[in-house]
Each structure stands twice: as C-alpha cells, then as structure tokens.
A and B are shown apart, each in its own frame.
Chain A
Amino acid sequence: MLGFHIVKRKNMEWWKAWLVRIGSILLGALVCAAVTVFLTGKDPVNVFTTMVDGAFGTERRIWSLLQGIAMLLCVSLAVTPAFKMRFWNIGAEGQALMGGLASAACMMFIGDRFPNWLMLIVMAVTSMLAGAIWAVIPAIFKARWNTNETLFTLMMNYIAIQFVSYFICVYATGGSGKIDVINPVTHTGWLPAIGGKSYLLNIIIVLILTVIMYIYLKYSKQGYEIAVVGESENTAKYIGINVPKVIIRTMIISGLLCGIAGFLLVSGADHTISRDTIAGRGFTAIMVSWLAKFNPVVMILTSFLLVFFEKGSIEVSQLCGLNASFSDIITGIIIFFIIGSEFFINYQIKKNEKEVKAS
C-alpha cells in the first residue's frame, strides 16, 4: 500500500496559488537549465540570458515575440468559449486554415475590384464566414445527433488541409506545390504597417478581441449560458436554456474568431497560404486556454510564456549548435511543471495515519 493518499483541497488562497505557480515555473526553469547544461556544457546563467536575448534582444525580436503572442492568443480566444462549454473543439487548426484560405482566395481572385480598405473588410468577413462554416458543421451534428465532437472537429482539420493542398495544386500549375507571395507589388489585401511596424495592427486587433471576449464571457447573458452548459447540461435544460442553440451559437463564435486568426496570418504576415500557415497553433491554443482557466486576460500571460520559451530556446539552440527540437524540449518541461502546479493547487497529499500504526 502507498503511504499517502490524495485529497481535494478547499480553495487555496489566491496569493498562495500564485506562489505555487511561480515556484513551479522557477523549478521548471531549473530543470531546463540542468538539461541545457547537460547538453551544451555551458553556464546556465549564460543560457538564460541568451534565452532572454533571443526573445527581447533586439527591437525586431520584441515585435516578433509580440506577433507570436498575438497570433497564438487569437486562436486561443477562439477555442475558449467552446472549451468553457466543455465542447472539445480540437478543430481550430482547420477552422483557422479555412479562414486563411478564404483570405488568400480573395487576394488572388478579386484583388483588383475594390480599394484596399474595402478589400480588407471583404477578406475579414469571408474568412470569418469560412471559419464559422467549418466550426458549425460539427456543432450541428453534436446538437442534433450528439455525435462525438472531438473526432469530428479533428477530422475536419484533415479535410481543411487537403482542401488547401488541392487549391494549391490547381492554382500553382507549375507543380511546385507552393503559392508565391500574393500581390507582391500592389500589396492588395496586405494589412498596412502602422508607423512602419508591420505587426502592430495584428497586435491591436487581437488586444481588442481579448477585451471583447473577456466582457462577453464574464458579463453577457450568453457568456453565462456557456458557463452553465459547461458545468451541467441538465441544469442548463432545467433552467430553460436551449442547449443545442447555445452549442451552435458558441461554435459559430469560435469559428468566426478562428477565421480572423487565419485572416491575420495571411493578410498580416505570410501574404500567402500553405498547409502550414497555422503552424500547429490550433493545438497549442488549447493548452493556452486551459492553463489560463479560460480567462482571456490570463491567456495573455500563458501565451507569452509559451512564445517566450519558444523564441528563447531557438536562440540558445543556434548559438550552441543544437537542433531546433531543443526548443520543444524546453517548452515541454515548462508546460509539465505548470500543469503539475495546478495539481498541487487543487489537491494535497496526506500521510496515511493507519498505515503508520500497521507498520
């Protein structure tokens, strides 16, 4: 028999919880340092300053970091209402990709018909629609026939990826499997740089969305309905909430936001579409959202953490001649400790008193 058992804690005071969280991140950082020293033989302090340098070292890196945070945050905001409703939407990757595809298609085929400001609005709207359509299909099936949304949304990702592949094959008839940067001369459908900062608009848009999502989830009636459906569908039914309606409406919102993420990535960064445009953010976003307990403002912090470690360890791996997978290892360790800290916040370990007597 084990000499201890685990009991659920009563609410830990918030400042204690934060101490545990910060402590565990520091502990995780220590383990990262140990791993890094083991792999590179370099001084751990040097490794950490290099990491910080990789994320903040130059003005360009800071912008790149902020852009990384904004994009991850945008997808995270998108999955949050669905997850809060306990609807396992792991299809954000595909929903955002469809949004990106819609933007790219607009840039290619109707780029010359509107002035650029109108063009951007048209692109944003079509992207949101594309994302929403991709999200609402599994939602309707869930609401009507109670299909498994985890599998359904996951499968929709693959369909979206194949759809993009098909689109690229048809359009890029040279057979290279790549669509070039679209409108490289006219910049039609490119989000404009503000004050010479090409990512600033992306960042502002995502910040505004964060505030709106925070208010929506916390203060609106719809946000409350989402929370109730998430806690207990039966309670929701009992108090007269139309559950299928809430599921479909929430997934439309999720899809709209994913569409915006796709739009921002295509119009505000890559200016083209490929299978890898979303680059796994649809999945990382789930972690960002859960770690922040679905609080959009805290999500700024969690996405910062993930992007910081990613950028920082890329720099370390470069200077130490390590493989770029080093970045994944470091991020993995940190996430492990963050998730671990939640365990210690919610549960406590107690010694078995009877066990002591028996021995």
Chain B
Amino acid sequence: MRRLFAVVLAVVMILTLAACTKVPANNNGGEDKAALKVGLICLHDENSTYDKNFIDGFKAACEKAGLKEGESFFIMTNIPEGAECKEAALDLADKGCTLIFADSFGHEPYMIEAAKECPDVQFCHATGTKAHTEKLANFHNAFASIYEGRYLAGVAAGLKINEMIEAGTIKAEEAKIGYVGAFPYAEVKSGYTSFFLGARSVCETATMEVIFTNSWYDETLEKEAAQKLIGDKCILISQHADSYGAPTACEDANVPDVSYNGSTEAQCPNTFIVSSRIDWEPYYTLCINAVKSGDAIPTDYVGTIETGSVVLTDLGAKAPAAGTAEKLAEVKAGLQDGSIKVFDTATFTVDGKTVDSYLADVDDMGDYVGETEVIKDGAFLESEFRSAPYFDLDIDGITIKE
C-alpha cells in the first residue's frame, strides 16, 4: 500500500508539474520574438580565471549589442565536457538562440553533434581543432595569436630578471624561470615557448623549468607546483593553468610572477608584473554582427593584436622593472609590422639543431600524426593553418620536470 502510494505520488507530481509547463514561463520578451538570442556554455564559472575571461568578454559584447541577460543572452556555467554539453547547446537552441558559444576544448565533439542537429544555428567553439576538417557550414573554431601576447609578457619577465642580475640579487647563470603548465598539450607548449623566447630575447642566460599539473583547474596542485619550482631556485614564475594557485604562491614567497588570463594585481600587489590574455569581445561582436547581417562566420578565426584580441593587462605597480612599458611598446610595434617573429627558427634549437622542417598535427583526426609542413621562410607559422595552436616542439633551454 505504502509503495503503491509512493508510485502514485511520483506519477501525480510528474503530471501536475508537466501540466504547469503549459504556462509560458519566459513571457518577458513581448512581441519581439524574432530578436537575436545568443548563448555561452562554460566549463566552470567565474571563479576560474579562464572562464571569467570568456564570461566578461561575452557580457561586454552582448551588452554593446543591446542584449539583456536572461532575456536575449544566456550563460550556462559548470557544463561538463560530456553529453551534458550537447544537451545544453540544444536547450539554448530551443530557447531561440541562433548563435551559441562554448569555451572549453572538451566541449568540441558535443558542439559538433549539436551543430549537425541544428543546421540553422551557428555554433562557435573556442580552442577547438576540428572545424576545418568537419566542414560544417554552422560550426566554427576560434582562437587568438596569444603567443604574441605571451612573447610580450616574456619580455617583461626578461627585463625583471635583468634588473635582478644588475642589482646583484642573482647571478646571470641563475636566471631560471619556473612555469606551471596544465597539460603537455600544444596550446600550453606554444604558450610557454613563446613566453620563454620573449624572456630570452632580452636576457640571454634565461632558462626555464616546467611542471605540468595535468589539470586545467586545480588550485592546490598549481600552488604546490609553483612552490616546488620556487624551492628549485626558480626566480620568476609564470603559468598556464586557470586558478590563482601559482600567483598566490608567488606572493607568499615574494617571487615575481607573470600571470595569465587577467590581472592578479589585487591578490598579489607585491609580485604581479603583467598578464597576457585573450580578449574575446571582438570575436563575440564579430559573430553577433555576422548573424544579424546574415554574413558567414569564419571557419577558423584568429584574433590578433590588431583586432584587439591579444592584450596585456596594466603593469603591476611595484614588481615590474623600470622601462618595461617603453620596451613593450617597442616590441609590440615590431610584432605588428612583422619585423619580429615569435617563432623565428634562428632564435631556438631542438637537440642542438636548428629546425628547418616540421610536420605538425594540424588535422586532428585522433591519430596524433603530423601531416602539415608549418615552417616557412625561417619561421614556424603558428595559428596559420587552423586557429588553435599546434606548436609542440620541445626546444633547448626548457626542461620539463616530472
């Protein structure tokens, strides 16, 4: 009897609740039903510097376009990289969104599945690799030439090290940088290599040690990795992982830090030098305008310094070396006019040799085999054949610590 009652109750609840749904819940739009609606799917929420960077750019672009949160733009946070992502994307499409973004690498296959189900909706995936091989008209990848931003941040780091050498705090041969990386993945390798090349362009004796945390977001692991690097006599730390773990470890130990995805000046006033980040707002604005006017969204979009996608935060108030701002302006101009190339093959070696040919795994078919020649005219052409980075060489001067 009790059990029967439980079952009946369950059924009644489901039915009554289902009946309630006849009432239109979001009747706040009024008559303007055809208005543009856009959605963003995030792996974490704004507590992750990575996701916050996307959320901020998205909100800014939407608000400029006159969209309102909860009515014409929607943000779904903490969406795992599984079937839930497809559900979330399709749910946004059901809501009337015709432009849907996702921010995490692992969302890509589910975004592709959603794109196949909804050919009238545009799906844009940041950091993904498959748009140019999937060849769907409504699925697009985007990234930015963040290696240029990393290079600039590296220059700021190199200047700081020079200052430490001149002040006699360290000897020239002790110029070892520590780097907390997420995964031994091209995006991370491209990032730390460009950062290192930037530092070495002003400080010849610089070397670097990298620890991978094998997680994109793990505050404890990142903090411990930074502490380990500091214990290993690294005199400056940078990171490609998404929490405040590494910067706060630096602040505690009073070691200068170059962060990523946004300024950590507020948390780390004594040690923060500068941070590079991708500003996603220009891309979001471009897509919103494209959908409004019916134009095509590029299959592979690479934001640059010119488009305003690759930016440096303000310099820290205390930590940066004197003259950093001037030097950065000079290098930035060099990057923009092409006189400085980040991955100039004359500036690095692999196993003691200059690299003059390299097949990169640009077509990500799950085989992990390189098929595209990416070195041309003395430079590694990063983000040329697809938007997501594919520089994954292990260059001399950088050691990976297990």
Contact = CB atoms under 8 A, between A and B. Distances in A.
Contacts of A317: 77
A64 B87 contact: yes
Contact of B3 (A55, A62, A298): A298
A184 B111 CA distance: 13
A276 B23 CA distance: 36
A181 B46 CA distance: 27
Contacts of A321: 69-70, 75
A52 B10 contact: no
A176 B25 contact: no
A184 B133 CA distance: 14
B45 A323 contact: yes
B185 A177 contact: yes
Interface string B78-90: 1011110001001
| Count class of interface residues, chain B | 35 or more
Contacts of B368: 172-174
B9 interface: yes
A175 B26 contact: no
B106 interface: yes
Contacts of A295: 3, 6
B16 to A, nearest CB: 9
Nearest to A174: B368
Interface in A1-48: 14-15, 18, 46
A178 B106 contact: yes
Interface string B1-33: 111011101100110011011010110000000
A53 B21 contact: yes
A58 B22 CA distance: 10
Contacts of B14: 304
Contacts of B74: 318-319
A236 B61 CA distance: 68
A28 to B, nearest CB: 14
Interface in A293-346: 295, 297-298, 300-301, 304, 308, 314, 317-321, 323-325
Interface string B134-174: 00000000000000000000000000000000000000000
A49 B10 contact: no
A245 interface: no
Contacts of B188: 175
Contact of B183 (A55, A177, A300, A325): A177
A173 B361 CA distance: 11
B397 interface: no
A105 to B, nearest CB: 15
Nearest to A214: B3
A58 B91 contact: yes
A277 interface: yes
Nearest to A318: B74
A284 interface: no
Contacts of B7: 297, 300-301
A297 B1 CA distance: 12
B282 interface: no
Interface stretch (A110-118, A135-143, A251-259, A266-274): A266-274
Contacts of A144: none
B372 to A, nearest CB: 14
A62 B14 CA distance: 10
Contacts of B75: 318, 321
B25 A274 contact: no
A165 B214 contact: yes
Interface string B96-118: 00000000011001101100000
A49 B18 CA distance: 11
B94 interface: yes
Given A169-B214, A175-B185, A298 B6 contact: yes
B255 interface: no
Interface in A51-70: 52-53, 55-58, 60-62, 64
Contacts of B182: 177
Interface centre among A60, A318, A325 (most CB of B within 10 A): A318
Top 3 nearest A-B pairs by Cβ distance?
A53-B25, A175-B184, A181-B109
Given A52-B25, A297-B7, A318-B76, 19 more contacts: A53-B21, A55-B17, A56-B17, A56-B18, A56-B21, A175-B183, A176-B105, A176-B187, A177-B214, A184-B112, A269-B83, A279-B82, A295-B3, A297-B3, A304-B10, A317-B77, A321-B70, A321-B75, A324-B76
10 contacts: A52-B20, A58-B94, A165-B214, A181-B110, A269-B82, A276-B80, A308-B17, A317-B77, A321-B69, A325-B78
